[in-house]
Amino acid sequence: MYNLKLTIEYDGAAYQGWQKQPHHRTVQGIIEEKLSLLMGTQLRLTGASRTDAGVHAQGQVANFLTERRTSPINLMQRLNAFLPEDIAIRNAEYVKEDFNARFSALSKLYRYSINLTKFPLLRDYSWYLKWKIDYDLLPLLAQKMTGSHDMGGFAKNIREKENRNCSIYRSIWILEQDSVVYEIEGDRFLHGLVRGLVGAMIEVARGKISPEQFEETLYTGERKVHFGFAPPQGLTLVKVNY
C-alpha cells in the first residue's frame, strides 16, 4: 500500500468548505472525484483541516492510500489539468504508510485579513471593516492567547466531551496602512475558532465588549457575552507543519 501526500491551494469562495458533503460542492469532493477517475478506483482523502465554506487555503495538506504506484509529479500535473481553476495541487510526494494529514500535524498556521479601506476586488479575500476601532488594543489581546487554553468559548458547535484545549504558539496582529492581518499558529483548532477569536477581538477594539470580558472567555472557556464571528472570506490556512 502506498501513501501519497498532497499540498493543495484553493480559493474557497465557490465551495461549501473542504469536507465532502452530500449534495454540496466541496473541495475534498471535487479532488476525490478527479483523483479517483485518474487512478481508476474510488479513493478517499484525509485532510489536515476542515476549512469552512468560503475559507481559503495556501497550504492545505491531504493524503490517500492506494495500491497503485505512480509518479507523484506526473499525477500532480494530470490532476491539475482536470481540476477547476480555483483548486491546484502544489506538491505531491510519497510518505510513510502511517502518515495521516490530520493526526500527524504538529501545528497549523492561519491568517485573517482585514481591510480598513473598501476594495471591491478583495471582497472575497478579506473583511472590510466599516467601523472605527482602537488598533492599539489588538496586539495586547493577541498576546494573551499564547499558551494552552480551553478555547470552547470562542468556537462553534462544540460536541459533548470534545477536547477543548488548544496550545497556541504564535498570535500576532500586523498593522499596515490600509489593512490589519492576524496570524495564529497552534497545535489544533476547534470549529470556527479563528473566526471567533478575530470577531471577539474586533468587538473589544470597537468598544462593544470589554477586555475583561474577552479575558474571562479565554480563561474560563465559557462565552458569557455575545460577539459576532468574523466572516469566512478573510481566513486562509497558510501552512500545516509536520
pLDDT digits (tens, 9 = 90+) for 57-67: 999 999 999 99
Please give the helix or strand (H or E) that residue 87 lies within, else none: strand 87-95
Q: What is the pLDDT of residue 157?
A: 79
> 80 with 147, same domain?
no
> 134 with 88, same domain?
no
Residue 53, helix vs strand vs coil: coil
pLDDT surpassing 90 at residue 162: no
Total domain count, the chain? 2
Among candidate residues 96, 104, 130, 121, the one with its CA nearest the CA of residue 202:
130
Residue 101 lies in a domain: no
- Report the alpha-carbon distance of residue 49 to residue 105 in Å, rounded: 10
Residue 182, helix vs strand vs coil: strand
> 115 with 73, same domain?
no
> 147 with 223, same domain?
yes
End-of-domain residue from the set 95, 128, 151: 95
> 85 with 156, same domain?
no
pLDDT digits (tens, 9 = 90+) for 62-86: 999 999 999 999 999 999 999 999 9
Residue 168 lies in a domain: yes
Neighbour-count burial of 224, counting CB atoms closer than 10 A to its CB (0-12 exposed, 13-18 middle, 19+ buried): exposed
> 128 with 16, same domain?
no
> 219 with 114, same domain?
yes
> 112 with 69, same domain?
no
Q: What is the pLDDT of residue 160?
A: 67
Task: Count the helix, strand and coil residues of the chain and give each as a percent rounded to the nearest 5.
Answer: 30, 30, 45
- Report the alpha-carbon distance of residue 26 to residue 87 in Å, rounded: 11
52 is catalytic: yes
* CATH code of the domain containing 43: 3.30.70.580
- Report the alpha-carbon distance of residue 12 to residue 9 in Å, rounded: 9
> 63 with 160, same domain?
no
Q: Which of 52, 124, 134, 187 is catalytic?
A: 52
Please give the helix or strand (H or E) that residue 73 lies within, else none: helix 72-82
> 76 with 183, same domain?
no
Model-level pTM greater than 0.85? Answer: yes
Q: What is the pLDDT of residue 58?
A: 98
**Cβ-based neighbour number of residue 117 at 10 Å:** 10
> 125 with 233, same domain?
yes
Q: What is the pLDDT of residue 6?
A: 98
Q: What is the pLDDT of residue 158?
A: 77
Neighbour-count burial of 143, counting CB atoms closer than 10 A to its CB (0-12 exposed, 13-18 middle, 19+ buried): exposed
Q: What is the pLDDT of residue 224?
A: 87
Q: Supply the range of the domain harboring residue 73.
A: 2-95
Take residue 45 and report the three cell numbers written for it: 482523502
Q: What is the pLDDT of residue 218?
A: 94
> 49 with 166, same domain?
no
Q: Taking CA 93 as the corner, what is the angle to CA 69 and CA 53, rounded to the nearest 5 degrees?
A: 110
**Contact present, 222 and 215 (Cβ < 8 Å):** no
pLDDT digits (tens, 9 = 90+) for 195-226: 999 999 999 999 999 999 999 999 999 998 99
Residue 130 lies in a domain: yes
End-of-domain residue from the set 95, 128, 156: 95
* CATH code of the domain containing 148: 3.30.70.660
End-of-domain residue from the set 73, 95, 117: 95
pLDDT surpassing 80 at residue 161: no
Neighbour-count burial of 130, counting CB atoms closer than 10 A to its CB (0-12 exposed, 13-18 middle, 19+ buried): exposed
Average per-residue pLDDT for the chain: 95
Q: What is the pLDDT of residue 172?
A: 98
